[in-house]
Amino acid sequence: MAPRHYYLVAALPAIGELGALPPWTTAELLGHVADSGGAAEVVAALLLGDDLLQRDALLAGEIGETRTAVLTREQAAGEAPLPDFLVAGEESEPVRHAGDGVWSAWFRHAAEVGRRRGSRFLQAWVGHEVALRNALAAARAKALGLDPADYLVATDLADAELDFAEVIAEWTAAPDPLAGQRVLDQARWSWLKEHDAWFSFGGDELAVYAAKLMLIDRWHRVAAAAADRHAG
């Protein structure tokens, strides 16, 4: 029988809907589950994706600091090597564009953690995220007259049954980048609600909470940055 994490789940602060303030940081969540064995590894695999997003934004000069959960400050700033599994994965899978190798390696790492730790949620989440990421990449490439195949990663991990045509159309029609991001994150949020694991007290309930917290925290950062640019 899979372990139950009654105390860890019961001690999680309530999390609101997309747009609410995050009840704590992703680093605090990771610390909360640190002694939960496989569940902690699943949560860390999820939160690493947000760390990589922050790293990309910092290196591109879009933000001035990061609040990572898994990566160190030096790793996020490009001053220290990334974890070996990301570097090795990047080198083993050739890609056409800088940075895509890291993302492909992370998707594969998360999928492997999901398989090894028996997390059906994490495996399904990877399938959803890869499919959405590649649908967006293909739409951008087509709009620019480029070959979409050059911008796809880890296509074998994508959930082939998902259709993002309506989401892409709404995203394309959004009046500004913030509205477009809201379309994408709302689609992610709706998917998470459909795959919730409330009151199971298993590792996947912690994983769903981590994915929700990551999304709420990311949206809060994006919205705050947009407000600062508007005020400036």
Helix (H) or strand (E) holding 173: helix 165-173
In angstroms, how far is the first alpha carbon of the chain from the final one?
Answer: 55
Cα of 168 vs its chain's centroid, Å: 18
**pLDDT for 15:** 93
| DSSP single-letter state for residue 63 | -
pLDDT in tens, 161-189: 999 999 999 999 999 999 999 999 999 99
Hey, what are 107's tokens? Answer: 């998707």
**pLDDT for 1:** 45
Q: What percent of the chain has pLDDT over 70?
A: 91
Q: Which amino acid is at 136?
A: L
Q: What is the mean pLDDT of residues 35-41?
A: 90
Hey, what are 207's tokens? Answer: 């994983």
**pLDDT for 2:** 60
* Residue 220 exposed, middle or buried by CB count within 10 Å (0-12, 13-18, 19+): middle
| DSSP single-letter state for residue 113 | H
Domain ranges across the chain: 17-227
pLDDT in tens, 107-127: 999 999 999 999 999 999 999
